[in-house]
Amino acid sequence: MIRLAAASEVVGTSLGDVEVCVTGGRRGPVLFFPGGHGGATVDCGWESYTRFGYRVVAFSRPGHGRTRVGDRTAAGFVPAVEEVCAALGISTVTAVVGVSSGGLQALHVAASGSVRPARLVLHSAAPSTLRHPDSAGRRALGRVLSGPRVQRGLGSVVSRTVATDAGLRLVAGSLWHTWGPEDRDRARATFRATGSGGGLAADLRQGRPDDDGARHTLLRRVSCPTLVTGSRHDGAVRFAHALDLAEHIDDARLAELDSPTHLFWVGPHAAQVHRAVQSFLAELL
């Protein structure tokens, strides 16, 4: 059965409401920032942490879930993250984790100087110092699809499609036969969360080439040990971003995955991520 957090709650901050999902666990906490796969309530990789007993605090970023803080950049959302940590009684952070477009948010939190995590983890993250999306065609398509109305419509279509096994099999293609029942539940939950409101548009704006210099400076400000994971088979984020992140963050190591898709947390290849995370965080014990 899909591992969803026990509850989702909204924490009021000076910037507005922030939705978080908090799991149990004696280790941690781990601040987790999903990408464009949905809000805080959908497991898009935090099982790699909960399975080892870490307490995960997953955030719905601006434009996602029930977070209502206006059109905030990743840098502009940091004060709200700090206030949520204070409200939850979090004074020390084991790791900050960013998945896909949530990687930029994790970078800003890790480099802020206030949260000071012991570790940073970036899974299939973009943008790096490289622009994202990478091609003119993908950037144009992103602009078309990023409107809130289009996102809501797209989310409704995808949700109806994957509601049945036949629909999910159509979306999964050949991967269907490699997934067990729990993998299929996890994939369905991810696909049903499609539709980011204004979040996708904000992510696209922050990956522009005219911000390359600012992102380069940001990476150099990260002072904690960092794990970067990525796959050469990822159709959404080029492996070049993982290489670039590992090159520009001073104390970074790269774990190359064999995951056949961007959804590294679904299917048998997820075991690679589990092992990489366990080994990286075990250094703190």
Residue-wise pLDDT tens digits, 80-121: 999 999 999 999 999 999 999 999 999 999 999 889 999 999
pTM across the whole model: 0.92
39 DSSP 8-state letter:
S
Closest CA to 107 of 209, 224, 210: 224
Residue 76, token pair as written in the block: 């502009």
Residue 43 in 3-state DSSP?
Answer: coil
Per-residue pLDDT of 214-243, as tens digits, reads: 999 999 999 999 999 999 999 999 999 999
189: confidence class by pLDDT, cuts 50, 70, 90: confident
Residue 14, token pair as written in the block: 């000076």
CA-CA distance, 94 to 171, in Å (whole number)?
Answer: 36
Would the pLDDT of 142 be above 60? Answer: no
